[in-house]
Structure 1
Amino acid sequence: MKGFNLTEWCLNRKQLVYFLAITIIVSGIFVYPKLGRNEDPEFTIREMYITVVWPGSTASQVEEQVTDKIERRLQDIPNKDYIKSYSFPGRSVIFIDLKDDVASDKIRDTWVEVRNDINDMKGNLPSNIVGPNFNDRYDDVYGCVYALTSDGYTYEEMREKAENIRRTLLNVKDVKKVDLIGVQTEKISIQIENTKMAQLGISPNTISSALQTQNSVIPSGMIQTSTDNVYLRVSGMFDNVDNISNLPIKAGNQTFRLGDIASITRGYSDPPDPKMFF
């Protein structure tokens, strides 16, 4: 019995072969513009990690008082694949991974449930912990990085301009997220010599308490009228460096302006926050 010969079969049916070839080519022309393509395609990471800082604790204490308790609470999370954790002196890191069959649009809802569960049981953790802090956004990628430079502008003025640009870019189609990198934190520095404080009989805590008391926001009551409720607010919060300089500081039987005994300057964090270089 003679075997099947594909070449012979095609040569005997040229019209059919031409028709199939043309159909495939035409279909490819129409389908090609619709093919999925993306320079920075989205991908879903089904993992979140939770960090808790407990200053002064040992690794064993962290494991018993923090890590184990959080892990037991995470056991009830639906669609969980596995949980892994690391306990260090003063710090705990817990990873939770979801199953691969969890739909992408359901992952964020699961992370919200994780946050709610852990925050609900925070009262069972040591009182002096820092956190828990959650991170489920480390799969974000950036398609473009732009550097904003200036000549003669301060960091704060640059930040204001960058914020305006950020708000504009967020209105651009397909732009999902815009972050500012290299922003420097403004701070007010108060410097006073130790010898001067010793002579006046005041301590740094005295100055700190006076600043906090003056700058605090506390309820001052309300006056109820026949037409409206009028809330009373005590003014006195610091608006500028001069207000801080005029703050009265009591030392023994004398009262001084803070600006008379200390140097008050407005600047940025030292050491500086992470900067952006290009």
Structure 2
Amino acid sequence: MNIAKYSMERKTTSWMFFLVLLIGGLVALTQLGRLEDPKFTIKQAMVITPYSGASAQQVEEEVTYRLENAIQELSYVDHVRSISKPGLSQITVEMKSIYRAEHLRQIWDELRRKINDAKTQLPLGTGEPIIRDDFADVYGVMMAITGPDYSYKDIEHYADFLRRELVLIDGVGKVMLAGEQQEQVVVEVSRSRLANFGIPPSRIAGLLQTQNA
């Protein structure tokens, strides 16, 4: 078949085919993702439980094993991996690949309920289980706030105000702040005067710690 001859003899069909390709290309172009870090779905969650003072074997037998049993009762689970360290239990849960992003919110809620119910079986001294399911969060936009004539506190207040406003924008899932300045109070003590009064520096440190408490 001579495609060039066919196109010349049937100009209407050729133009229609060209227009279909052109319109389809424009529609596809408008729907392409433009994020530097595109959103993707990770079907994994981590359950981290502290158990201070316990050996790795105690953590495995008294915490990890019981939480694993509760997690495996969920029908969504594909497989479970765990690491038991001295004082810490870490369980990684992966859901079956058939579940999409719209199903995961409900799945994570059910996972939290299972963990919450299983807490009653954990020994005394076990910390609160921490469930992390936000590994797929990506940052589409990063903004820096500067102000040479403003104090760090003023900039922090303004950044917090922006965070609260940006969260209200449609399509924004999460806004996080980074780089806040840690507040410090520096106490300078005259060692010569302390020596005159017979007060050791450790006593001043103890008084400050008591005051902070």
TM-score by length of 2: 0.78
Q: Deviations over 1:128-148 (max 9, x none)?
A: 223311111121101121111
Aligned partner of 2:141: which letter? C
> Residue 253 of structure 1 corresponds to which residue in structure 2?
none
State whether structure 2 residue 164 is matched by structure 1 residue 167.
yes
CA-CA distance at 1:91 after TM superposition: 1.2
- The answer as to whether partners of 1:156 and 1:186 remain within 8 angstroms in 2 is no
- The answer as to whether partners of 1:83 and 1:95 remain within 8 angstroms in 2 is yes
> Residue 30 of structure 1 corresponds to which residue in structure 2?
23
Alpha-carbon RMSD across the aligned residues, in angstroms, is 3.2
> Residue 87 of structure 1 corresponds to which residue in structure 2?
84
Aligned partner of 1:27: which letter? V
- The answer as to whether partners of 2:7 and 2:14 remain within 8 angstroms in 1 is no
Q: Deviations over 1:190-210 (max 9, x none)?
A: 999974887xxxx76x946xx
- The answer as to whether partners of 1:62 and 1:90 remain within 8 angstroms in 2 is yes
State whether structure 2 residue 53 is matched by structure 1 residue 56.
yes
Match of 2:129, SS?
A: strand
Q: Equivalents in 2 of 1:127, 1:156: separation in Å?
A: 41
- Structure 1 unaligned residues grouped into runs of 5+: 1-5, 213-278
Q: Deviations over 1:248-277 (max 9, x none)?
A: xxxxxxxxxxxxxxxxxxxxxxxxxxxxxx
> Residue 15 of structure 1 corresponds to which residue in structure 2?
9
Q: Equivalents in 2 of 1:19, 1:82: separation in Å?
A: 58
Structure number with the bigger relative contact order (C-alpha 8 A, sep ≥ 6) is 2
Which of 123, 132, 143 is residue 135 of structure 1 equivalent to?
A: 132
Q: Report the identity percentage.
A: 27
> Residue 70 of structure 2 corresponds to which residue in structure 1?
73
Structure with the bigger percentage of strand: 1
Matches within 5 A, 1:1-278: 6-7=1-2, 11=5, 14-16=8-10, 18-35=11-28, 36-40=31-35, 41-184=38-181, 186=183, 195=200, 207=210
Aligned partner of 1:121: which letter? A
Q: Alpha carbons of 1:186 and 1:109: their partners in 2 closer, same or farther (altered >3 Å)? A: farther
- Structure 2 unaligned residues grouped into runs of 5+: none
Aligned partner of 1:55: which letter? S
Q: Deviations over 1:206-248 (max 9, x none)?
A: 946xx87xxxxxxxxxxxxxxxxxxxxxxxxxxxxxxxxxxxx
Q: Equivalents in 2 of 1:30, 1:51: separation in Å?
A: 51
Aligned partner of 2:25: which letter? Y
Equivalenced residue count is 200
CA-CA distance at 1:115 after TM superposition: 0.7
- The answer as to whether partners of 2:7 and 2:13 remain within 8 angstroms in 1 is no
Q: Deviations over 1:55-74 (max 9, x none)?
A: 22211111111111110000
Aligned partner of 1:39: which letter? R
Aligned partner of 2:119: which letter? K
Aligned partner of 2:27: which letter? K
